Amino acid sequence: MLRALKGEVLKRPPFWLMRQAGRYLPEYRELRKQSKNFLDFCYSPDLAVEATLQPLRRYNMDAAILFSDILVLPDALGQKVEFREGEGPVLEPIRSIAEMNKLSADRIEDHLAPVFETIARLANEIPEQTALIGFAGAPWTVAVYMVEGRGGTDCSQIRKWADDASDEFRELINLLVEAIATYLTRQVESGAEIIQLFDSWAGILNERQFHRWSIEPTRRIVDRLRESCPGVPVIGFPRNVGPLAEPFVTGTGIDAISLDQDTSLAWIAETLQPKCTVQGNLDNQVLVEGGEALDRETMAILKALSKGPFVFNLGHGILPTTPPEHVARVAELVLGWPATAKEVR
Ligand code: CP3
């Protein structure tokens, strides 16, 4: 994994899956019962370590990703964050300077101490050849949840604030840049070897806004990490941005870009792969379906991208309805590459 992120072309690409821990696994659902509240679960090192290790035991991925959530950060800043059963995250929205001023980055170290402990224990427990990935939401995506108060909205509140009062909104983004850089530095100091920044809501921004609210803040975080933890690779995930993935790569200085399933394989190979390592991009819905479509699409990705620096992954996180056997099939095809190319036509 580390070699691929440094730009090496490997015979068999490394493999992990976004949201590889979680509800599609019966052992996760069982473990999850030990804590009523999802944030408490994330802040229990025993449970978070176990959840992180579960997919590795089944599928032998090349990387483990810390079990946590991007919304522990607004929680640490002092915003009220709740996860409601069947509803997802609900936050008390921040929509003014006065509300923003109640937040503070001073609590990160103490409040997120259980996350750092989880990382430190994982660094000791996972096999030597398995990389440990730490992560955070990118400023824009975390701000979407902070301002909208939940996911899945039309984002009208945050867009209005970002457009009509951009100086105010910039203060929120600046606070998040500082907080995220501090949080990620502490993750690396605790034992994370790779960082992924999830900008899951970057796709709703137009080009000008994308430069201002995604590329620019990401570049500042990357710069801070280069200084505080030199040599630690950073993977960016600006989801659904189409051809703007190219200015994202050149403008942020990231080591690798994670791509969603709508990004053309030929375009990735031709335009992005000469510039950085690429990660992706199996359709998570095809992973739910399985069968021939799953074999075919997995092979198409391996064929198109394994001639350059590449990490096999999904285009977006595993869905809770995914049959675990389908994940086993993908693991078999990727871990057996290139021999498996002969098996599937
Ligand atoms: O295995 C891993 O990949 C690590 C764990 C992980 C979780 N969330 C666990 C989780 C990671 C990397 C995340 C990131 C995350 N969280 C993102 C960015 C990636 C993406 O999917 O776009 C976002 C936007 C969130 C916010 C979030 N967390 C939402 C919208 C939800 C509710 C929807 C859902 O899938 O349940 C969550 C809850 C959440 N995060 C769960 C898990 C396992 C389910 C909660 C439970 O088990 O009860």
pLDDT in tens, 267-323: 999 999 999 999 999 999 999 999 999 999 999 999 999 999 999 999 999 999 999
Is 220 known to be catalytic? no
Judged against a pLDDT cut of 90, whether residue 342 lies above it is answered with no
Residue closest via CA to ligand 1's atom 45 equals 38
Catalytic residue among 145, 159, 255, 283: 145
Is 23 known to be catalytic? yes
Is 19 known to be catalytic? yes
**Ligand 1 neighbourhood includes 71 CB (under 6 angstroms):** yes
**Ligand 1 neighbourhood includes 20 CB (under 6 angstroms):** yes
Judged against a pLDDT cut of 80, whether residue 188 lies above it is answered with yes
**Ligand 1 neighbourhood includes 317 CB (under 6 angstroms):** yes
Q: What is the pLDDT of residues 84-124, one digit of tens each?
A: 988 999 999 999 999 999 999 999 999 999 999 999 999 99
Given this model, what pLDDT does residue 167 score? 96
Whole-angstrom distance, CA of residue 67 vs CA of residue 79: 21
According to DSSP, residue 268 is labeled I
Q: Which two tokens stand for residue 269?
A: 């190979």
List Cβ neighbours of 318 (8 Å cut-off, separation of 6 or more).
Answer: 17, 18, 19, 20, 22, 24, 284, 287, 327
**Ligand 1 neighbourhood includes 135 CB (under 6 angstroms):** yes
Neighbours of 306 (CB within 10 A): 20
**Ligand 1 neighbourhood includes 52 CB (under 6 angstroms):** no
Helix axes 166-190, 139-148, angle to 10 degrees: 120
List Cβ neighbours of 338 (8 Å cut-off, separation of 6 or more).
Answer: 11, 12, 302, 306
The predicted model scores a pTM of 0.97
Structure confidence at residue 38 as a pLDDT band (50, 70, 90): very high
Neighbours of 128 (CB within 10 A): 4
**Ligand 1 neighbourhood includes 22 CB (under 6 angstroms):** yes
| Amino acid identity at 250 | T
Q: Which two tokens stand for residue 32?
A: 């999850």
**Ligand 1 neighbourhood includes 21 CB (under 6 angstroms):** yes
Check: CB of residue 10 under 8 Å from CB of residue 261.
no
Is 107 known to be catalytic? no
Residue closest via CA to ligand 1's atom 22 equals 200
Residue closest via CA to ligand 1's atom 11 equals 69
Residue closest via CA to ligand 1's atom 48 equals 38
Residue closest via CA to ligand 1's atom 10 equals 69
Catalytic residue among 69, 75, 255, 295: 69
Give, for ligand 1, the residue of 16, 69, 200, 327 to mutate: max count of ligand atoms closer than 8 Å to Cβ. 69
Given this model, what pLDDT does residue 199 score? 98
Check: CB of residue 218 under 8 Å from CB of residue 138.
yes
Whole-angstrom distance, CA of residue 54 vs CA of residue 64: 10
List Cβ neighbours of 298 (8 Å cut-off, separation of 6 or more).
Answer: 282, 330, 333, 334, 344
Domains in the chain with CATH codes: 2-342 (3.20.20.210)
Judged against a pLDDT cut of 80, whether residue 345 lies above it is answered with no
Whole-angstrom distance, CA of residue 261 vs CA of residue 208: 24
**Ligand 1 neighbourhood includes 118 CB (under 6 angstroms):** no
Whole-angstrom distance, CA of residue 58 vs CA of residue 16: 12
